[in-house]
Amino acid sequence: MPTRTASGLVAYVNARLLDPATGLDSPGALLTNGETIADVGPGLFQGGVPSGIEVVDCRGLCLAPGLVDMRVQLREPGEEHKETLKSAGEAAVAGGVTSMVCLPNTYPVIDEVATVEFVARRARKIGLAKVYPYAAATKGLEGKELSEMGMLAEAGALGFTDGTRAIRNALVLRRALAYAATFGAMIVQHPEEPALAEGGVMNEGELATRMGLAGIPAAAEAIMLERDMRLVELTGGRYHAAHIATAEGVAVIRRAKAKGLAVTCDTAPPYFALNELAVGDYRTFAKLSPPLRAEADRQAVVAGLVDGTIDAIASDHAPQDQDSKRQPFAQAEFGGVGLETLLAVTLELHHNGHLGLLAALERITHAPARLLGLAAGRLKVGHAADLVVFDPGRGWKVDSEKLRSKSKNSPFDGRPLQGLAVRTVVDGRTVFLRDA
């Protein structure tokens, strides 16, 4: 890794600058001064870099804002055998992710100011990717009593969610939306009707029947969303639906947006790159929540990304240890790791002709940052120098055993991908550099 010059200035030259926030896609250079971006543009350093400035030659590769991952389970505190802030940070920067937002389903639950501050303090000390927490919408994630949202927001919580659990009680969700609206905060819902999902382990349909597995109907997503849209209309609150996975779900969000409701949503790479067939021979790495759906649903998710119905892409990183996954399919835990594959699988949307390169990058940089109110995800003078240099054409094959995450449960294990982070910079410091 480069050493910092006395001046603290670093010039990234011979780069393809990509900034989805402004539409910039041009050869050029970028200058950092300490922790911030000092200058950026196509004409920068055309006459050469002045002496005293450290030079990083990007060799024509893409230089973009660091990725902002708005849905990550970190497992610390409480389940450090599955993941820690350090192991997640190492996986994140290897994938070009410079900011992560973590779910509150830890032990203890992130429903008090002290826990919010613990996560932020630990992440700063580790010094890899930045970590921002969501706080629990209800105390203990029990879906009954609202958490102290005002105090938690002041302490740094970026939004409120019950994580992998839906807020099933309509009155509780109504109150949460109304309360959070008083200070502009977002309620993030896991959109799945719990009674319909209970006991199910994969997508309901012919394949589940053939495999003898209990199914979760696609309607479980749409039913919860339809109810929630009424509550958004009633309260005027900000609502974000996580990991949309079905055609019906996309349609509900599309209609809500057409009505002008304050509704946004994200999806995760498995839902536009895989379908239920990935479960194959009872493959537990493909047991996710929500489950992988039918091919028609996958295509609808892609269409939702193309037309802007789906605002952002999040990794939905959910590490599970070997003991949790090496079980009969019905008993295995839900979830897959995704920090190191987020960039490459998102770039499939570009390589397959669905989205332009800037549009694909926008879903994992500027869009999530905008939703969360973070000054991140763009190449802007004065902003933090959180950057990724990546090779969009570099091929590689996912080998779950080589992933930096403490858990290895990737649904993309064995899949050939195109696109790889070469250098990741956080606050002007190179925190990851890939061997040639």
Whole-angstrom distance, CA of residue 297 vs CA of residue 264: 19
Give how many domains the chain has, as a whole number: 1
Mean pLDDT of the chain: 96
What share of the chain in percent tops pLDDT 90?
97
Whole-angstrom distance, CA of residue 403 vs CA of residue 433: 15
Position 3 scores a pLDDT of 42
For residue 261, give the CATH number of its domain.
3.20.20.140
Whole-angstrom distance, CA of residue 191 vs CA of residue 374: 24
Residue numbers of the domain that contains 247: 66-372
- Per-residue pLDDT tens over the stretch 344-401: 999 999 999 999 999 999 999 999 999 999 999 999 999 999 999 999 999 999 999 9
Q: Is 50 a domain residue?
A: no
Is the pLDDT at 58 greater than 50? The verdict is yes
Q: Is 40 a domain residue?
A: no
Q: Is 211 a domain residue?
A: yes
- Per-residue pLDDT tens over the stretch 263-303: 999 999 999 999 999 999 999 999 999 999 999 999 999 99
Position 1 scores a pLDDT of 44
Q: Is 404 a domain residue?
A: no
Q: Is 408 a domain residue?
A: no
Q: Is 401 a domain residue?
A: no
Calculate the dihedral angle through the C-alpha atoms of 8, 14, 18, 21, rounding to the nearest 10 degrees: 40
- The catalytic site residues sit at 316
Q: Is 256 a domain residue?
A: yes
Q: Is 32 a domain residue?
A: no
